[in-house]
Structure 1
Amino acid sequence: MHSTLLLVHSWSRWLVLGFLLYAIYRASIGYFKNELFTKADDSVRHWTATAAHIQLMLGIILFTNSPVAKGYWASGQELLQNFDTTFFGLIHSILMLTSVVILTIGSALAKRTTADRDKFRIMLLWFSVALLIIFIAIPWPFSPFSNRPYLRTF
């Protein structure tokens, strides 16, 4: 089960990144061209937040069932010396949770705002900050923190 969850979590990051990039693109076009915030834009906002929440839930389930988490919290100080374990046990988890909170706040603010240009501005700002944090927290193959392949396989 752990390897399947890891595979799904790894592959679904591309879905979240795609939604986020598309939402930021739509928000920037809408903001700079002063367009109307349509139902399609609202759907993009909603599904971007939904995809991020699903990815977060997969991550939480994976984290609570992983040997890294069980060993990390049991040994504490010992595992702080292994940066790969520290990255996934602490840094990755905190940064990803923070990014989803920021994305959720941005989504909620955009939903509740009445002016169309303000909706686009809020989405552009909050979603961009969330994307930046996500880019830092993903274990890219070139990352100095911890690296994993672009696409995990069984």
Structure 2
Amino acid sequence: MYPVLIFSHSIVRWFVVVTLLFAIYRGIRGWSGRKPFTKFDDSVRHTAATFSHIQLMIGYVLYFNSPFITYFRTHYKEAVSQFEFVFFGMIHITLMTIAIFVLSAGSSIAKRNEDDLAKFKTMTIYYIIAAVIILIAIPWPFSPLSARPYLRDF
């Protein structure tokens, strides 16, 4: 099950990044161009939020089933001296949870706004904040925090 979770988490990451960046693009475009907030814009907002929630749930299941995290929790005093354990044991999950909370709040507030400009503005600001947090917390291959490949396999 663990390899499937790792692979799924790696694949869905790309759906989150792409849909989030596209939602930000649509938000900036609508906000700066004073365009109407269409059903397509609403579906983009919703899709980005949905993929991020799916990713967070996969991440939580992975977190609580990971031998890496089990070691971190059972050998905490040893593990905190190694940054990779600290990154995955505390930093990654905390930042991602905060990012999805910000993204969800922005999605919810944008959905409830009456004014189209306010919808775009809210979605753009909250999604950019979430994207920055997410992009920092992803263990990219070039990351100084913790490196993982662009795509994990079984």
Q: Common fold, TM-score beyond 0.5?
A: yes
Q: Which runs of 5 or more residues in structure 2 are unaligned?
A: none
- Partner amino acid for 1:76? Y
**2:150 and 2:72 mapped to 1: Cα distance?**
25
Aligned to 2:72: 72
**2:49 and 2:77 mapped to 1: Cα distance?**
35
Q: Deviations over 1:70-128 (max 9, x none)?
A: 12122212100111111111100000000000000000000111000010000110000
**1:98 and 1:31 mapped to 2: Cα distance?**
25
Shift of 1:152: 1.3
TM-score when normalising by structure 1 = 0.98
Aligned to 1:125: 125
**2:68 and 2:136 mapped to 1: Cα distance?**
20
**1:77 and 1:36 mapped to 2: Cα distance?**
55
Aligned to 1:2: 2
- Partner amino acid for 1:111? K
Root-mean-square deviation (Å):
0.7
Q: Which runs of 5 or more residues in structure 1 are unaligned?
A: none
After the TM superposition, which parts of structure 1 deviate over 6 Å for at least 4 consecutive aligned residues? none
**2:108 and 2:130 mapped to 1: Cα distance?**
14
Alignment of 1:30-41 (within 5 A): 30-41=30-41
Shift of 1:56: 0.2
Q: Percent identity?
A: 47
**1:87 and 1:25 mapped to 2: Cα distance?**
30
User: SS state of the match for residue 149, structure 1?
Assistant: coil
**2:151 and 2:67 mapped to 1: Cα distance?**
21
Aligned to 1:92: 92
Aligned to 1:11: 11
**2:66 and 2:90 mapped to 1: Cα distance?**
13
**1:150 and 1:142 mapped to 2: Cα distance?**
10
